[in-house]
A and B are shown apart, each in its own frame.
Chain A
């Protein structure tokens, strides 16, 4: 909740796993970016599968249904930007991946450079209230 109250620019990058409340506590930001192969979800695929189907082995179906990929979340307007990763994922060329993240943070902070504190708080609130209004149907 603190994230929603502070009058300074808040940018968030999901660099690997964005698991549940643990993630959203940090990602209640004005601008949210995700690395191309990162995930952001209310629950892990294994957890979801074991609750819904009493079978953690169905994590493939759960991963599909959870819409946890950066590509799906961009379509749903939960996140703002996708940061491309080097071929084969960030682990194959960490320096390149880190530099790409740096460039995106710079760009996101620049977008907010002349926003007033009250404006920043309003912007963040509006962003989260609007989530869910954009569907995958389009």
Chain B
């Protein structure tokens, strides 16, 4: 569990409750320990409710970026069946920040497209932290065209800090970085 900075007091209480339970498990526990831990649980759930009742916009931003939040791949795995990923933009390459393909939603065929951020350092780098490059958007366009052709509804799942602000934009007409001048 990753705690956000405003959740610090919550982390303290939940940590203490966990500690008490660990002590109880070791065997030197009496009934009092469980009672104590339950009291802490109540305190932490009250605090959680208070904290989330009025989140200011900055705190919301932090929650929206929470690393443990379910990501696009989690939604696709849970809500869609027969997901068949389609890769590549037919011009330059594949962008791992954008995932998409054919799938079934409630058994009806559809196209699903979304940003994927990744869950650990390795996968975050692989997915470029959810920041799509031009080829990612070309892939999305390709999938939307396909949906249009086959009359399939499109579901998009948005989760990106923004498009990747890299230099040297790569376009379909000039997919490779230009060769060095002679």
Contacts and interface: CB of A to CB of B under 8 A. Distances in A.
A38 B57 CA distance: 10
A17 B161 contact: yes
Interface in A55-113: 59-60, 63-64, 66-69, 72, 87-91, 94-95, 97-99, 101-102, 105-106, 109, 112
Contacts of B140: 2, 25-26
The residue among A27, A40, A64, A91 with the most chain B CB atoms within 10 A of its own CB is A91
B69 interface: yes
A2 B113 CA distance: 13
B155 A11 contact: yes
Given A8-B154, A9-B153, A105-B79, A17 B159 contact: yes
Interface string B156-168: 1111111110000
B61 A45 contact: yes
Interface stretch (B22-30, B82-90, B142-150, B174-182): B142-150
Contacts of A126: none
What does DSSP make chain B's interface, helix, strand, loop or mixed?
mixed
B60 interface: yes
Interface in A35-51: 37-40, 43-45
B101 interface: no
B65 A17 contact: yes
Contacts of B57: 39, 45, 60, 63-64, 66-69, 72
The 10 tightest CB contacts between A and B, nearest first, are: A19-B162, A22-B163, A63-B57, A16-B159, A91-B68, A63-B58, A6-B148, A26-B156, A9-B153, A94-B70
6 contacts: A2-B145, A16-B117, A26-B114, A44-B161, A63-B58, A87-B45
Interface of A: 2-3, 5-23, 25-27, 29, 37-40, 43-45, 59-60, 63-64, 66-69, 72, 87-91, 94-95, 97-99, 101-102, 105-106, 109, 112
Interface of B: 2, 45, 48-49, 51-52, 55-58, 60-61, 63-66, 68-72, 74-75, 78-79, 105-106, 113-115, 117, 130-132, 137, 140-141, 144-145, 147-148, 151-164
